[in-house]
Amino acid sequence: MRLSVGRIPIRIKIFALSITMLVLLVCTSAITYYQVGGVTHELADIAHYQMPLEHQAAEIGAVLLEQEIHVERVFDRPGPHRHSDDFLAAEQRRFKAWEAVLRAEVDTARKLVEASLEHATTKEDIVDFAQVEAKLGQIEQEHRQYHEHALRIFAQQQKGDTAGARLLRAQLHREEEDIGREIDALLAQLEKLAVRSAATASRHERQALQTSLVLVRVAVATGLAWAIFMAIRITRPLDTLLQSTQDVRQGGLDVQVEVASRVDKFIGDGIAAFWGPPFAGPDEHARLACEAALEQFVQLEKMDRRLSQLLGLRRGLPTLNIRVGLATGSLLAGDIGSDQY
């Protein structure tokens, strides 16, 4: 069964318009929330993982520098006490203390990398964080060798083997440079991650803004189209009714009764018409008048069917009735009133 839009009650039309706008609003909000979530995710990567990892890498480099200072003091301290047992023992204790700090920094960095891998959503981020984890492992392994060689230098100095200590010192310098390069590479990798995340966040932000603008335009256009369409459908019957009423008041009729007749005058809401020469033959006026009367009831039934559309109501419609009177006999008639008749 086909449902005509014109037969839908006005409250259903208004409700449909409201639901349509609400659905568009919800869709716009959902898409915007999803895209803004991408921006939030990238910023969270930068704030909670990448920046702390850069800080940890810098701390590892600072701790390594502190250890280098204690090793160099064994060789460069002036005075007769630079090879004393107390001085060497004190420097060795400080060196080992910094070793514990460095291991803690590396462990913290490794936990951050593991959390970053769990939080990563793109293939690029997963690969980059895996490379960061590999670099941390490489730094830890090289530093372990550096630590062992540094302790051997302390031991040789305590034994008074300055020549052997100086030979190890050259190797230790090479290891320090290797670790420094690894730390620099780690910092460069983290900086690249941060730059890419910031660029991705900026791109997502622009996409969210552009999508929001497009959806708002679509919502406005759809809402206006719906509003205009519904307004036309709602007001057209009233306009038709008003226009028809004005036409009747001015002497015009939209409905033509297909019988030969002459409209004489309008009497309030009634119409007076007559049949006869020259519009009808002398023997036809009674039949034509009856046909015109019956046609009025046919038009009344059509009007009843259109009444709900004209008034925009489905219930409480008024009952329309008409009365038709017929008379026959001689009369004197002439043209008075509108030029149309």
The answer to whether residues 29 and 176 belong to one domain is: yes
Handedness of CA 77, 78, 83, 88 (dihedral sign): negative
Assign 315 a pLDDT band (cuts: 50, 70, 90): low
Lowest-confidence segment of 82-91, 163-172, 306-315 by average pLDDT:
306-315
Lowest-confidence segment of 131-140, 172-181, 253-262 by average pLDDT:
253-262
| Predicted local distance difference test score (pLDDT) of residue 336 | 57
Closest CA to 244 of 260, 255, 233: 255
Q: Which residue has the higher pLDDT, 204 or 52?
A: 52
The answer to whether residues 130 and 206 belong to one domain is: yes
Residue range(s) defining the domain that contains residue 66: 5-228
| Predicted local distance difference test score (pLDDT) of residue 247 | 59
Assign 285 a pLDDT band (cuts: 50, 70, 90): confident
Q: Is residue 243 assigned to a domain?
A: no
Residue-wise pLDDT tens digits, 10-59: 677 677 777 877 887 787 778 777 777 777 777 777 888 888 888 888 89
The answer to whether residues 309 and 214 belong to one domain is: no
Residue-wise pLDDT tens digits, 237-264: 667 666 666 655 555 554 444 545 556 6
Q: Give the number of domains in the chain.
A: 2
The answer to whether residues 18 and 77 belong to one domain is: yes
The answer to whether residues 313 and 282 belong to one domain is: yes
Q: Is residue 246 assigned to a domain?
A: no
What's the pTM value of the predicted model, to 2 decimals? 0.55
Q: Which residue has the higher pLDDT, 262 or 276?
A: 276
Q: Is residue 234 assigned to a domain?
A: no
What CATH number should be reported for the domain holding residue 206?
A: 1.20.1330
Assign 172 a pLDDT band (cuts: 50, 70, 90): confident
Q: Is the pLDDT of residue 1 over 50?
A: no
Across the chain, what does the average pLDDT equal? 77
The answer to whether residues 255 and 109 belong to one domain is: no
